A and B are shown apart, each in its own frame.
Chain A
Amino acid sequence: MIKFSNVTKIYPRDTVVLQNVSFEIKEGEFISIVGKSGAGKSTLVHLILGLEVPTSGEVYFEDVNLNDANPSKIQEIRRRIGAIHQDYKLLPQKNVYENVAYIMQVEGRENKEIAVEVPKVLEVIGLENKINNFPNQLSGGEQQRLAIARAFVNNPDIIIADEPTGNLDPYNTYEVISLLQKINKAGKTVILATHDREIINKLGKRVITIENGKILRDEAEGRFII
C-alpha cells in the first residue's frame, strides 16, 4: 500500500534526516516505527502525507508516486489517511465538535451523519462534555485525544499516529493503543511512530527501527531495542 524506495531526505545546511530508506507497508498491517527523538520518524510520516518531498528516491501510495502527484491527488490521498500529529495540528478557531466535524465536512458527508457520528467518537475518546470548548481551553492530554478523535472519525483506510500517547496517562495510553489495535483488526492499516518501549514490546507487531536516518532493523514481530 505504501512503498519507500531509496528515499533520502536532506534538509538545508546538509542535515541528513533519512538515508537511502526502502521498505513497504502492506494493506491491513500494524507497523511501528521506533527510534530516538530526531531519528527521522516524523519526516517519514510527513513524506507519506505528501507534506515533504524526498531529496532523492520515491514514495508510493498504492500506485501513485507522491513526488509526481498533482495537488488534488495529494488532497484525495490525505482524506484517506487519519493522521495524529505530534503537535496535534488542531483547528484553534473551531471548538471540539467542529474540529471533528470538519474532517467529515471536508469529505462531503451529510449533516445528519455528522450529527450522529461526531458525538459518538467524542464519547469514545471521553470529550463528550467539552464539545463547546476551544483547543486552547483543553489540557495537553485532552488536545491529544481530540487529535485522535479527528483521525478516527472518517473511518480512514490508514491511521498514521506520530507519538499519539506522548501526553497521555497510562490508562489513556492503554485505551488509545487498544483502539488502534481494534481498528487494525477491522482491516485498516496502522502506522505508529513512537519511542515508548513498553507499548512496542506489548504489541508484538512489525517494528522498523531507525537510527541516524537509516533502517537499523525491520522485524515482523519486533521489540524496542536501541
Chain B
Amino acid sequence: MFTNFKRVLTFAFNDFSRNKGISVAAIFVLAIIIMLVTGLFFFQGIAGYLTSRIQDKIDITAYFKDGTQEQDILNVKAEILKMSPNIKNVDYVSKDQALASFNAVHQNDTVLSQALQEVGNNPFLPSLNITTNGDPSQYAQIADILQTSDFSNLIDSVDFSQKKDIIEKVYSIISNINTFGLILGIILIFVAILVVFNTIKLAIENSKEEISTMKIVGASNWFIRGPFVIQGILYGFIAFLICILLSGASAYFLSPKIEIILPGFDMFSYFLTNWWIFVLIQLGFGAGVGIISSFIVVRKYLEV
C-alpha cells in the first residue's frame, strides 16, 4: 500500500516536471481564477463595510412632548431596546444636548442665533435616536409601534415618514448591489470552474493513449488515476501559494489608496483578520477544482 502510494507520488512528480509547459499553463489559469474568487471576497468585504456605514447613517427619531420627564423617556428607551434584536442602538438626546449641538453646528450663523434669542427659551424637544441592523420595513415597524404603543401619548412626532423615501431608496440600492454581486459571483465561479476543468482536460488529453495503455497492461484504476489527481493537487497548491502572496501584497500596497476612497476601510487589516478564510477559499478552490477535474477527466479515459 505504502509502496504503491510512493510510486503514484513519483509518477505524479515525474509527469509534472516532464510536462513543464502544460503544468505552468494549468497553474497560471488556476491562479487567475483563484485571484478572481479572492477579488470577489474583497468586493464582499468592501460592500459589507459600505452597507454598515450607510446603515449607521440611517436612523429614526422619536421626539417627545415638551415637559416629558427624563425618567419616562429613559423607560421608553429601555422598552424600545427590548422590542427587537434588530435594534442596534437607542440614543437619548435631551433638550439641552439638542440645543448645544445645534449651536455647535450653527455657531457662525448669526441669523439663526438671533432667531433663537427671539424665541427666548429652548425650542428643541427631547428625543430618542434609533438605529437598526435591518431593512426599511423594520424602521416602518418601529415607527408604527412608537405611534401606537402605551407610551405614544408621550411622543410628539416620529420623523420616519420624512426619511422614508431616502431609507427605502438606499436599501433598494444596497440590496440590488448585493443581488448583482451574488449573481455575478455565481456566474464568474461557474465560468472559472469550466475554464479550469478544460485546462486540466487539455493537460490530461495529452496522456489519453498512456491511460488506455496502462489499463491494457492491467493497472488498477487508482494506480492510473492517482498521479493525475496528485498533479491536480500540485497545480492547486502552487496556484494557492502564488495567490496568497499576491493577494497579501496587493492588499498591503492598495490599502492606503482604497482608504482615500473609503475612509476607515483598511484592506490589509481586512486581509489579516480574514487570513484563514482567504487560505480556505484559495486552497479549497484551487486544489478542490484541480482534484475534481482530474478525477472526472481521467475517468472518461479509463473505460477500456
Query: A residues 59-78 with Cβ under 8 Å of B?
Result: 71-72, 75-78
Q: Is B220 an interface residue (CB 8 A)?
A: yes
Q: Annotate A78-121 by CB proximity to B: 1 below 8 A, 0 otherwise.
A: 11110101000111111000100011011110110000000000
* Stretch touching chain A among B49-57, B167-175, B211-219, B261-269: B211-219
Contact between B207 and A93, CB atoms less than 8 A apart: yes
**A150 to B216 CA separation, bound complex (whole angstroms):** 12
CA distance A77 to B221 in the complex (A): 15
B162 at interface, CB cutoff 8 A: no
In the complex, what distance in Å separates the CA atom of A89 from the CA atom of B217? Answer: 9
Q: How far is the CA of A110 from the CA of B221 in the complex (A)?
A: 20
* Residue in A75, A85, A89 whose beta carbon sits within 8 Å of that of B220 in the complex: A75
**Does B18 count as interface, using CB distance less than 8 angstroms?**
yes
Quick check: B210 and A49 within 8 Å, CB to CB? no
A83 adjacent to B216 (CB under 8 Å)? yes
Number of interface residues, chain A, beta carbon within 8 A: 29
Number of inter-chain CB pairs below 8 Å: 57
Residues A92 and B210 in contact, CB atoms below 8 Å apart: yes
Q: Are A78 and B216 in contact (CB under 8 A)?
A: yes
A207 CB, nearest partner CB in chain B, Å: 26
CB pair B216 A49 closer than 8 Å: yes
* Residue in chain A with minimal CB distance to B211: A91
Q: Are A108 and B4 in contact (CB under 8 A)?
A: yes
Q: Contact: B210 with A75, CB < 8 Å?
A: no
Among residues of B, the one whose C-beta sits closest to the C-beta of A77 is: B218
Nearest-CB distance from A152 to chain B (Å)?
A: 13
B219 x A106 contact (CB < 8 A): yes
> Given A105-B7, A111-B3, are A79 and B210 also a contact pair (CB < 8 Å)?
no
B18, B215, B221, B223: the one contacting A93 at CB < 8 Å is B18
Q: Chain B contacts of A220 at CB under 8 A? A: none
CB pair B19–A90 under 8 Å, yes or no, is no
Q: Please indicate the chain A residues that have their CB under 8 angstroms from the CB of B207 in the complex.
A: 93
CB proximity to A under 8 Å, residues B210-244: 210, 213-221, 223
Whether A75 touches B19, Cβ cut-off 8 Å, given contacts A90-B213, A105-B7, A106-B223, is: no
Let me know if B3 and A76 touch, CB within 8 A: no
Q: Does B59 contact A (CB under 8 A)?
A: no
Given A105-B7, A111-B3; A91-B210 close (CB under 8 Å): yes
- Interface check A51, CB cutoff 8 A: yes
A110 to B210, CA, bound (A): 23
Asked if B104 is at the interface (CB within 8 A of a chain A CB), the reply is: no
Residues of A within 8 A of B216 (CB): 49, 51, 78, 83, 85, 89
A98 to B207, CA, bound (A): 16
Q: How far is the CA of A106 from the CA of B3 in the complex (A)?
A: 11
> Would you call B96 an interface residue if the criterion is a C-beta within 8 Å of the partner chain's C-beta atoms?
no
For chain A, residues 9 to 27, give those with C-beta under 8 angstroms from any C-beta of chain B. Answer: none
Q: Which residues of B contact A79 (CB under 8 A)?
A: 217-218
A157 CB to nearest B CB, Å: 12
Q: Are A91's CB and B214's CB within 8 A?
A: yes
CB <8 Å contact, A102 and B217: yes
State in angstroms the CA–CA spacing of A103 and B219 once bound together. Answer: 8
Across the interface, B218 reaches (CB within 8 A) one of A76, A91, A92, A111, namely: A76
- Whether B15 sits at the interface, judged by CB under 8 Å, is yes
In the complex, per-residue mask of B1-15: 1 if CB is within 8 Å of any chain A CB, else 0: 001100100000011
Taking a contact as CB atoms under 8 Å apart, the answer to whether B217 and A93 are in contact is no
* CB-CB nearest in chain B for A76: B218
The A-contacting residues of B in range 261-304, CB under 8 angstroms, are 304
For A90, what are the chain B residues with a Cβ–Cβ distance below 8 Å?
213
Could you tell me the distance between the alpha carbons of A83 and B217 in the complex, rounded to whole angstroms? 8
Contact A91 B213 (CB under 8 A): yes
Q: Which residue of B lies closest to A80 (CB)?
A: B218
Q: Which residues of A contact B7 (CB under 8 A)?
A: 105
Determine if B70 is an interface residue (Cβ-Cβ < 8 Å).
Answer: no
Residues of chain A whose beta carbon lies under 8 Å from any beta carbon of chain B:
49, 51, 71-72, 75-81, 83, 85, 89-94, 98, 102-103, 105-108, 110-111, 150
6 shortest interchain CB distances as A-B pairs? A79-B218, A78-B218, A106-B219, A89-B213, A75-B218, A91-B210
Listed by A's residue number, 20 A-B pairs whose Cβ atoms lie within 8 Å are: A51-B216, A72-B220, A79-B218, A89-B213, A89-B216, A89-B217, A92-B209, A92-B210, A93-B15, A93-B207, A94-B14, A94-B210, A102-B219, A103-B217, A106-B214, A106-B217, A106-B223, A108-B3, A110-B3, A111-B3
- A81-B218, A103-B217, A108-B4 provided; 16 other pairs, C-beta below 8 A? A51-B216, A71-B221, A75-B219, A77-B218, A78-B217, A78-B218, A79-B217, A89-B209, A93-B15, A94-B14, A102-B217, A105-B223, A106-B214, A106-B217, A106-B223, A110-B3
